[in-house]
Amino acid sequence: PRLGRGSPMEAIQESFQKVEKIGEGTYGVVYKARNKRTGQLVALKKIRLDTESEGVPSTAIREISLLKELKHPNIVRLLDVIHSQKKLYIVFEYLNQDLKKYMDSCQAGELPLSLVKNYLFQLLQGVSFCHSHRVIHRDLKPQNLLINEAGAIKLADFGLARAFGVPLRTYTHEVVVTLWYRAPEILLGCRYYSTPVDIWSIGCIFAEMMTRKALFPGDSEIDQLFQIFRTLGTPTEVTWPGVTQLPDYKGSFPRWPRKEMKDIVPNLDRDGRDLLTQLLLYDPSKRISAKAALNHKYFLCRNSGSPEQRPVLRRDCR
């Protein structure tokens, strides 16, 4: 991490021209900015720090520095870290749209099946790379999957959860952490979760790309669990050994039967349904890994680079 000459504000003003505010993310305000020297567009994240704390935690600086080494075509590149005692800015490569906005803006039916397959493959490549470097995301959702016209999809904010924790609300008390993509082991209070939590999120995102509706749109932690149970059946010691020992498991949970995968995602073929089933297994130790998912037969037919595998960001999706 580099310390700008003087304050980080001076370093930011020296190096970047802010173009516009593009959002309030999980960790603070995000600006679109231009590097004054190179003309390159970047996303500038001003990290919100806990005012009671002692300023920028050194652990956070270390974690963020490690993320500069995560170089992969499906990971949003962390370009620089600028910090002082009290302020922290992270500079990322800029992409002009996220998957949620793209899905919301395309009114005409479902996403092309080949685009969904291509996006899923790229997401699994990015996640597999991060998991092989022992980095977990913990908060994957369509809002932090960024896309471009060339058909690339990239994971944003990888590793930030470990550096800063996942805050529940912004300064303006807007809830930023959606529960919709959260794995059941986290919802049931498991303290030692690992890489399978990201796999669950990817399963939820896969289903949503297919149906254009969130798979489990819960509005509280208990509602989130019950949304999952109503669809996949209430877990038991048979379907998930050890579930009854988790801190927030209750013997009084209603017993819902499991729905058929073909009723959940009717337009997905058999191989796709098989992969989705393995991404959404209750038992984290049995849930498929990103690496294994990349070798699933669903991806045997993949014509990467064909026109229908690129999103139309300009014409019909504004």
The number of distinct structural domains making up the chain is 2
pLDDT attached to residue 126 = 97
Q: Tell me: do 173 and 292 sit in the same domain.
A: yes
Instruction: Give me the torsion for CA of 149, 155, 215, 232, rounded to 10°.
Output: 140
Cα–Cα dist 68/267, whole Å: 39
Q: Tell me: do 148 and 270 sit in the same domain.
A: yes
* Greatest CA separation for the chain: 62
Which neighbouring-strand residues pair with 28? 25, 47
Token digits of residue 190: 């498991």
What CATH number is given to the structural domain containing 22? 3.30.200.20
Q: Tell me: do 74 and 114 sit in the same domain.
A: no
315 three-state secondary structure = coil
Residues 6+ apart with CB under 8 A from 243: 188, 235, 236, 237, 249, 282
Token digits of residue 213: 């509706």
pLDDT attached to residue 225 = 98
pLDDT attached to residue 285 = 97
Residues in the chain, pLDDT under 50: 1-5, 168-176, 314-318
Which among 76, 93, 110 is the end of a domain? 93
pLDDT attached to residue 64 = 81
Per DSSP, 244 falls in state G
Q: Tell me: do 189 and 274 sit in the same domain.
A: yes
Q: Tell me: do 144 and 259 sit in the same domain.
A: yes
pLDDT attached to residue 31 = 93
Which among 70, 93, 116 is the end of a domain? 93
169 three-state secondary structure = strand
- pLDDT tens digit string along 34-65? 999 999 999 998 887 765 566 677 777 777 87
Residues 6+ apart with CB under 8 A from 318: 105
Q: Tell me: do 54 and 105 sit in the same domain.
A: no
Task: Please check whether residue 174 lies inside any domain of the structure.
Answer: yes
Do the beta carbons of residue 293 and residue 123 sit within 8 Å?
no
To the question of whether residue 154 is assigned a binding role by annotation, the answer is: no
Which neighbouring-strand residues pair with 30? 23, 45
Q: Which burial class, exposed, middle or buried, applies to 61 when counting CB atoms under 10 A from its CB (0-12, 13-18, 19+)?
A: middle
Domain range for 17 = 13-93
Residues belonging to the active site: 139
Q: Which burial class, exposed, middle or buried, applies to 157 when counting CB atoms under 10 A from its CB (0-12, 13-18, 19+)?
A: buried
